[in-house]
Amino acid sequence: MKPVIIALDFENRHQTEQFLTLFDAAPKKPVIKVGMELFYREGPAFVRDLAAQGYAIFLDLKLMDIPHTVEMAMQQLAQLGIAYTTIHANGGSAMIQAAKKGLTTGAAKAGLPTPKLLAVTELTSITPAMLKDELHVDLPMQAEVVALAELAQQNGADGVICSPQEVPALQQHLPQDFLFVTPGIRPVGAAKDDQARVATPAEAAQLGSSAIVVGRPITLSQTPFATYQQIRKEFNAHD
């Protein structure tokens, strides 16, 4: 079953742990995303604690720096017991290779599986107009995303973070086992919030997403566990 990754967009450990108790009845623990806000507040020790509890963790820090710095950072992150982590594909080929090397080295030191390296192409908050007028990228959005995804794959990434709408075009250029992890998922009737390029869980499935990331529609729901179950069912309806 393809994963629905719950984005834990909470301020602190207490709020996060309270939320996760709502999933105690689940037959299998959900895959969870720890982002910048929570990581910078609670730090690596909290990630280790979550991993020790049996959660598969997507640590979403979107690293982008000179290759050596990224490699050393990834060595540390790989020892936390995480399943996925992220970089910006815009960091270039040497940085992507360094990130992969750091993850492999760090995981080996800790005797853990190497986390999947996911590259961010263009954030789902970026519109085509912003790409052209603010970032001064001449390529259309889809062509830019394909180019960055190919760069990432050629240099060791296991997948990309992209909009669901871009998956069909990416599938034409990338191997079958390459991962397409898609945020910007909003059930029918949900607010878009600050996401510009969105899809429903069913649309993401039809478009070929390998996994979806869902935050506020679950975390702000009156019935988070039931909402998660419904989204999971909708996303995997045709598997």
| The predicted structure's pLDDT at residue 188 | 66
Please say if the pLDDT value at position 122 is more than 80.
Answer: yes
Please say if the pLDDT value at position 154 is more than 80.
Answer: yes
Q: What is the CA radius of gyration of the chain?
A: 17
65 flagged as catalytic? yes
Q: Residue 195 — pLDDT band, cuts 50, 70, 90?
A: very low
Neighbours of 14 (CB within 10 A): 10
Please say if the pLDDT value at position 13 is more than 70.
Answer: yes
| The predicted structure's pLDDT at residue 39 | 97
Higher pLDDT, 129 or 163: 129
Please say if the pLDDT value at position 193 is more than 90.
Answer: no
| The predicted structure's pLDDT at residue 172 | 96
Average pLDDT over residues 109-131: 93
Question: How far apart (Å, rounded) are the C-alpha atoms in residues 70 and 21?
Answer: 34
| The predicted structure's pLDDT at residue 103 | 98
138 flagged as catalytic? no
Higher pLDDT, 189 or 66: 66
Question: How far apart (Å, rounded) are the C-alpha atoms in residues 4 and 212?
Answer: 5
62 flagged as catalytic? yes
Q: What share of the chain is helix, strand, coil (3-state, %, to 5)?
A: 50, 15, 35
| The predicted structure's pLDDT at residue 239 | 66
Backbone angles phi, psi at 217, to 5 degrees: -60, -25
Query: Are the beta carbons of 208 and 184 closer than 8 angstroms?
Result: no
Question: How far apart (Å, rounded) are the C-alpha atoms in residues 165 and 44?
Answer: 34
Average pLDDT over residues 182-196: 66
| The predicted structure's pLDDT at residue 25 | 80
Please say if the pLDDT value at position 162 is more than 80.
Answer: yes
Give which of 95, 180, 8 is closest to 103, Cα–Cα: 95
In the chain, what are the domains?
4-235 (3.20.20.70)
Q: Which among 65, 101, 116, 132 is annotated as catalytic?
A: 65
Query: Are the beta carbons of 200 and 188 closer than 8 angstroms?
Result: yes
Task: Give the percent of the chain with pLDDT over 70.
Answer: 95
Coil vs helix vs strand at 217: helix
Task: Give the percent of the chain with pLDDT over 90.
Answer: 83
| The predicted structure's pLDDT at residue 191 | 53
Average per-residue pLDDT in the chain?
A: 93
Global pTM reads: 0.92
Q: Residue 224 — pLDDT band, cuts 50, 70, 90?
A: very high
Please say if the pLDDT value at position 208 is more than 70.
Answer: yes
Average pLDDT over residues 202-222: 95
Q: Which among 2, 28, 49, 60 is annotated as catalytic?
A: 60
Average pLDDT over residues 113-123: 95
Binding site feature residues for substrate: 9, 33, 60-69, 124, 186, 195, 215-216
Give which of 153, 171, 162, 155 is closest to 211, Cα–Cα: 162
In this structure, what DSSP letter does residue 113 have?
Answer: P
- Strands of 162-225, DSSP E: 179-182, 211-214
Q: Residue 30 — pLDDT band, cuts 50, 70, 90?
A: very high
| The predicted structure's pLDDT at residue 189 | 56
Binding site feature residues: 9, 33, 60-69, 124, 186, 195, 215-216
104, two tokens:
């492999």
Neighbours of 66 (CB within 10 A): 12
User: Could you give the angle at the alpha carbon of 2 between the alpha carbons of 28 and 76, nearest 5°?
Assistant: 75
Q: Which among 29, 49, 62, 132 is annotated as catalytic?
A: 62
Q: Residue 53 to residues 50, 83, 86, 103, 161: CA-CA distances in angstroms? A: 5, 14, 22, 22, 26
